[in-house]
Chains A and B, each alone.
Chain A
Amino acid sequence: MQKKEVKKTDENILTRMVRNQMFIPLLALAALALFNLIAGPEFFAITLGTNSAGNPVLSGYPITILDSGSELAILAIGMTLVTAASGGQDISVGAAVAIAGSVLLRMLCGGNSRPEELAMPIIVAFLISCIVAMLFGAFNGVLVAYFKIQPMIATLILYTAGRSIAAWINNNELPVITDPGLSYFGGFIPGVPIPTPFFIAVICVVAIFLVLKFTNLGLYTQAVGINENSSKLNGLNPQLIKIISFVILGLCVAVVGLIKVSRIQTINYSVIAKDIEMDAILAVALGGNALSGGKFNMAASIFGAYVIQFLTQTLYRFKVSADALPAYKAVVVIVLVVISAPTVKEWFGKMSRKFKVKEVA
């Protein structure tokens, strides 16, 4: 009997959280927008121009946010699932992007670091890089699911080794691809003035929402994240669910790898997608999702990703030194974590009860 009661109050807290979940990112966005508006409304100006290839492109801060934020949004999808299922985070995302990008380039240039023409169609190379990235995701997933290693520790392996693996895949060469077809994914498709990464993000978002709507993945993931044992008793396979979440993150990683490589048409193993895992995890946290797993709200995470890019862009606007950016983001993390810490929540609860009691009195 007692157990049931506990569950009930849990549900109450959860429903309350879900109701408020978009609140934090929206508040953050409003604050940032207001701040930028006061500092000068030209921040929101969008102009239509042409790029050096003569194609129409939109430009301006909002477009840049959509452009760069899309990579983050795609990663946030996978990171949300991993967080929900395993109650931990994958910190190897940046290194895995390096691997995926390296595989993509290796396939495209077929061992020759300066190919005249592509060794295979981009789509084939991309699919291969997807498979590789999903395998690495599965590797992380197996460590977490079967060996019960804390996700952050399990993924520390790939975090440390990933960039060396990426360099090794291309024999330490830095291939440069000149084919214009590759540049479309991280730039603009001729004739379309909106940056392609945004479309790619939209495709990913639609795909995950269809999956969540028409399969039980969302439900199962939450069940495993809330209580692994009871989900097992209900006939789920928690190991499999966890691995699936890591594999989906692997797929997201491959997509981001394509965008990143496309942007500069080459790769630098040691700096590509550096510290992107921080931003992806922050997106999940900003979306109001519990970093300890369980219930999640995908839309809030994705929205959170764009808000973080908004923050980054704002800091760039004010010429905050790039190496100081993590410090500002850390402040956001601290605020979020403190707000969602159980002791603080309890304290808030007490305060509000007291307040109510006073009111009644």
Chain B
Amino acid sequence: MLKKKVAMLLAVAMVAATVVGCGGGDAKTDAPADDTKTDAPADDAAADDGADDAAADDGADDAAADEGADDAAADEGSAGGTIKVGIINNDPNESGYRTANDKDLKAMFTAENGYEATFQYSMKNDEQIAYAQNMITEGVDYLLLSAADTAGWGGVLEDAQAAGTEVILFDRVIDASEDMYAASIVSDMDEEGNKAVTWLEGQGLDSYNIIHLQGVMGAAAQQGRTKALDEKVKAEPDKWKLVVQQTAEWNAEKAQQIVQSVIDSGEDFNVIYAENDDMAKGAVAALDAANIEHGVDKKVIVMGFDCNKWALEELKKGAWNYDGQCNPFQAKYIDDVIKSLEKGEEIAEKTIIMEEKGFDAKEITDDDIEKYGI
């Protein structure tokens, strides 16, 4: 009996380890609320203007939304009807990244922009596939997809092709040949890492003793952000050293404990390279407790990723040094693709890599915080 219980407990604990794409993704348990959530947003999007205006105000890039509205107005004139899109996304509760992503999409695919959008959310691949097949049957013009898993989408893509539905991937790629979908809009995680490491190199320190806090191992964001730093350390082992390289699993508390442990051990370090903002925050809490100065022109350089609004504010205060963006605002790119396809143009480059920024505490402005903070 006892053994059974403990075995069960261990099994349950292990179930929690799912890996997600961009940003502060993490091992989030699946929400059983998924099903109840699915219908409401669809009504929102399809129906009343008031609600949509509110969504647009919330959404971060107003400019893009406005632009979209103009285009759509022109478009409606020529095409003479709304474009039906079905959007399948991961659970918006997953992370700040996903929440911002969802808001952005909702702000773009509105009735006044000439779209009739249906939203479905799930972090389970099989559920997503079922949603996708429903949408194709319902006859959507475009299927926008952020897949939970890379595998198992062959059938959906074939159905879509047969039904004349164009598939556009965003944020995540799937295992499929390029001619099965119209375009894929993704972040280049390797580039995010490169940008950060290049920036760090530009700081011109005599030696780099780095505490490297990694995300959940295997996540695309973790791999990309780790790769660049690993390569640099390998290339210049005399100058660049990893004091500790640990996964804190996107978790602020774990990061705090790890950094605390390094401080307790008395080892010297001058850089915190945290693969998301939460972990950087945890690290800073440990630094503050030990009265170690951090930030612009201070002993320890603090680096984070994802550009949460509060993190950018820390940057502005000079308490942190760098924050790398993981762009959740794909709606405008998707809109562009749809516009081109509607005009009958060919999409030259199927993989569209979004522009992403890295912010330096010395250069960041309030506008940046407003515009890029998630």
A binds B: yes
CB of A270 within 8 A of CB of B261, answer no
CB of B33 within 8 A of CB of A164, answer yes
What is the CA–CA distance of A272 and B257 in the complex, to the nearest angstrom? Answer: 13
Taking CB atoms and an 8 Å cut-off, the chain A residues in 242-295 that contact chain B are 260, 263-264, 266, 268-275, 278, 281, 290-292
Answer yes or no: A227 CB below 8 A from chain B CBs.
no
CB of B247 within 8 A of CB of A323, answer yes
Cβ contact of A322, chosen from B29, B249, B293, cutoff 8 A: B249
How many residues does chain A have at the interface if contact means C-beta atoms less than 8 Å apart? 62
CB of A163 within 8 A of CB of B28, answer yes
CB of B2 within 8 A of CB of A321, answer no
B257 neighbours in A (Cβ, 8 Å): 64, 68, 312, 316
Answer yes or no: A229 CB below 8 A from chain B CBs.
no
Q: How near does chain A come to B32, taking the closest CB pair, in angstroms?
A: 6
CB of B310 within 8 A of CB of A160, answer no
What is the CA–CA distance of A114 and B9 in the complex, to the nearest angstrom? Answer: 38
Cβ contact of B27, chosen from A270, A291, A319, cutoff 8 A: A270
CB of B291 within 8 A of CB of A50, answer yes
CB of A268 within 8 A of CB of B28, answer no
- Nearest B residue (CB) for A150: B5
Interface membership of chain A positions 149-187, coded 1 if the CB is closer than 8 angstroms to chain B and 0 otherwise = 000100010011101100110001010100000000001
Taking CB atoms and an 8 Å cut-off, the chain B residues in 1-56 that contact chain A are 1-3, 5-6, 8-10, 12-13, 16, 24, 26-33
Cβ contact of A172, chosen from B28, B92, B254, B292, cutoff 8 A: B92
Cβ contact of B261, chosen from A269, A313, A323, cutoff 8 A: A313
Answer yes or no: B83 CB below 8 A from chain A CBs.
no
Q: Which of B94-102, B156-164, B199-207, B322-330 contacts A (4 or more CB under 8 A)?
A: B94-102
Instruction: Name B's interface SS.
Output: helix
Answer yes or no: B250 CB below 8 A from chain A CBs.
yes
Known: A268-B251, A278-B9, A292-B1. A161 touches B31 (CB 8 A): yes
Taking CB atoms and an 8 Å cut-off, the chain A residues in 312-345 that contact chain B are 312-313, 316-317, 319, 321-323, 326, 330, 333, 337, 340-341
Answer yes or no: B113 CB below 8 A from chain A CBs.
no
- Nearest B residue (CB) for A272: B253
B244 neighbours in A (Cβ, 8 Å): 319
What is the CA–CA distance of A275 and B17 in the complex, to the nearest angstrom? Answer: 11
Interface size range of chain B in the complex? 35 or more
Taking CB atoms and an 8 Å cut-off, the chain B residues in 245-290 that contact chain A are 246-254, 256-258, 260-261, 263-266, 278, 281-282, 285, 287-290
Cβ contact of B9, chosen from A152, A272, A321, cutoff 8 A: A152
CB of A291 within 8 A of CB of B2, answer yes
Known: A61-B264, A322-B247. A263 touches B310 (CB 8 A): no
CB of A316 within 8 A of CB of B308, answer no
Cβ contact of A174, chosen from B9, B217, B248, B310, cutoff 8 A: B310
Answer yes or no: A57 CB below 8 A from chain B CBs.
yes
B278 neighbours in A (Cβ, 8 Å): 264, 268, 271
Known: A271-B249, A337-B6. A59 touches B95 (CB 8 A): no
CB of A274 within 8 A of CB of B27, answer yes
Q: How near does chain A come to B292, taking the closest CB pair, in angstroms?
A: 8
Answer yes or no: A60 CB below 8 A from chain B CBs.
yes
Known: A52-B291, A268-B251, A270-B94. A322 touches B2 (CB 8 A): no
Answer yes or no: B150 CB below 8 A from chain A CBs.
no
CB of A264 within 8 A of CB of B291, answer no
Answer yes or no: A223 CB below 8 A from chain B CBs.
no
Answer yes or no: A42 CB below 8 A from chain B CBs.
yes
Complex A-B: 21 CB contacts under 8 Å: A42-B265, A52-B291, A59-B289, A61-B264, A64-B257, A64-B264, A89-B9, A161-B31, A163-B29, A164-B31, A168-B33, A176-B310, A266-B252, A268-B26, A270-B26, A270-B94, A271-B251, A322-B258, A323-B217, A337-B3, A340-B2
